[in-house]
Structure 1
Amino acid sequence: MDQPIDLSGFHIKAGEVSIVVPCLEFVLFLDRTDDAGILDFYQRARAALGSSITHYLAESMKGYKRLDARGESMVPTWFSRPREGKLAYYMTMADNDPNKIVTASTIEISIFRRPVHEVTPKLRAQWKVTYEEQKSKLPYPGSQLRVSVPLDHPLADPAAIRDWILDFSLVKNGADFTGHCGYALNHYLQPIDRDLYDPAKKALASFVLRYPGLGFNGGGIQSRILRYEPKLSEFVPLIERANWLNLVCDKTLDLIGGRSHVRTLLGDDLPISMHEVAHGVAIQAGLSPQVGDLGHRDFVEPYRRVAKVLRPIRIDEIPGMGGWFMQTETNEWLNALDKEYQ
């Protein structure tokens, strides 16, 4: 049911410290990477959050620092002048130090750089041996880009964020992507501080297992988001989980019949629409993001329909996160939209 939602009850504190905070997130997963597209993502996300971003953590840094000129220049330098032989890049930016307090404004860039020109016939032949002949289960991680905004941000308006997302170059012109947008919970991540970490994990598990429309950042998704397809002799990005806005490139969508077939399967009895981009689609499940509520039998039917149609191209499982959120619970969340309720 599409109606205004009060998410303030998902804001949890331990004493005076925020440890769980609701937000609207946009997440993009990539197989092959495009430096200019990654830089476009960063610049657009950075412009959207502006002065609210105050801290950053990059790669080998031991802790978050106040944002300075060096921090501002890192991502633009990485992807305008990539270093030969450097494969992995990581940067997180936030409104405050996430090791001290959780906020809604975040940007995360986690890249395993794999330019199109480096996916050579020789590399494909190596994949064939490893993943077809040897039946290897060795993970082949994808790249992840994430931005989350507060619920009072202008981009928290459904039409505004949808149009904003569809204008990202990686979405508008990219060919190797999946992603999603919807309500999520940012949460405290440092197990060294049990007074903050334990209640955060307990609250997170409780919320996402009751409210099936909620997402969260974590769960080891990057190592599982790509699947090797023997008939293509390459990897395809998968869908993490059905959400309000579901981005799927044609390479992945073709595994379940392509755009026209998927449109037919989605039906016309629920408020589900499909927005086309050059090499994929964005499937919108409802007029606005929803959280649902199993306790009140709000199962978020548009999300469930999308989940059913996209099931063959969704990831199968994710690892546990410890404490109150072991693997049984994380996978209960992952597959909650598939469950049949009496």
Structure 2
Amino acid sequence: MEREYSPTELMDRDSRSNRYYRNAVERHWDPAEIGLETDLENLCAYADDGDDFDRADLDALVTGIAKFGAGEDAVTEDLAPLGVVLDDIDDQLFLTTQLYEEAKHADFFDRYWRTVVWGVEDHLGWERTSPRAERWFDDAYLELFERNRRAMDRLLEDDTPENRAFAYCHYHLTVEGILAQTGYYGMSRSFGGEFDDLPQLPGLVEGFDRIRSDEGRHVGFGMNQLKSLVDAGQIAPSLIEEVVADLLPLVQRITEDDRFAPEGDPVGLQPGELATYAMEKHGHRLTQIADASADVPEVDDLVSIDRPD
């Protein structure tokens, strides 16, 4: 007997979630295809040319990479509960691409550490470091990701509109929308050739560009889900403000972590630049969610890496 399908069981190809899904399929990229040879050469030359280049100097350059790699590992695992509770086919389609992309991001940073960081350490005759060593991660970083894990896991115990909002606020708005996007912006500027005193790392910047583009789509999905909850009267905009405001001090402490900063005048971005960037992005996105007359950006805008924000 042929099964009869109701319209709600079919894909809505005009929905944002379906358009995000198709965009992810069409913009596929392979982390293994990003060339890292120039990064290794430039970083080795930078170490050789530096006066008394030591372990602390390398640590200052790679601590951000360690944080990004561990963060991608964490969010790859933490996203799973949302895939269990979503019941809309288009949302499910999109989430499969996000899980896949988070895994690719983790793959890129693992490959970068093995190829470039270990390559430099081998070149200098130093012991290889682990990107998961405890010393890379400050207390604020550990607390933020632990809170994110708990917010996502709560969905499996009590799937309510409020708990979904908590999950989207932690994962999509804060970890991806504020912390990660701010970090990618800062790292891309630092190693993209803007500053003569820092090495150019084109492979790292290309990876950041690819990941940043993916995560623009991820953030857009979370924003749209939150906006739908607000528009349906299932949550108040104040809930989003309260949750993110509670997390922002952790983000600020992470972006201002200077434990590995060299002594003397800062090289590259100046103190406060990343915190300002993070707050501007948060304010702009909150307006797009809470204002009934405002729209979440279209997918092509979300994935563009050339937009001014």
Higher relative contact order (CA 8 A, sep 6+): 2
Task: Specify the structure having the higher radius of gyration (Cα).
Answer: 2
More helix by share: 2
- TM-score norm. by structure 2 comes to 0.28
Bigger strand fraction: 1
TM-score, scaled to structure 1: 0.26
